[in-house]
Amino acid sequence: MGLQLYTNKESRGVVVEWLLIELGIECERVEVEYHTSMKSPEYLKLNPFGKVPVLIDEHVVIYELAAICAYLADKFPEKNLAPALGDPKR
């Protein structure tokens, strides 16, 4: 199973979509609606704040835009989007 992005087209989730394009990475996109599916019990298990975006990578669930961007940059170091872990520039 690959990456899954829970997002809404009118949200900051578009930043993750842009980053995925920059990385050239395939990701299943799951549209979540404000006020309804975003607040469902199933979705609140992914993000207890009931917000988008959420990225799922196998058993890893990440919410918070900055955390998702950092995670993706670290997952694909060959794309050089962030200094390596341990690099003082980081």
Backbone φ/ψ region at 64: left (φ over 0), alpha (ψ -120 to 50), beta: left
16 binds ligand GSH (CB under 6 A): no
Give me the least distance between CB of 26 and ligand GSH, in Å please: 22
Give me the least distance between CB of 34 and ligand GSH, in Å please: 6
Query: Of 52, 55, 62, 69, which one interacts with ligand GSH (CB under 6 A)?
Result: 52
Give all strands (DSSP E) within 10-59, no chain letters.
28-31, 54-57
Q: How far apart are CA 14 and CA 12, in angstroms?
A: 5
Options 19-27, 49-57, 70-78, 80-88: segment touching ligand GSH (CB under 6 A): 49-57
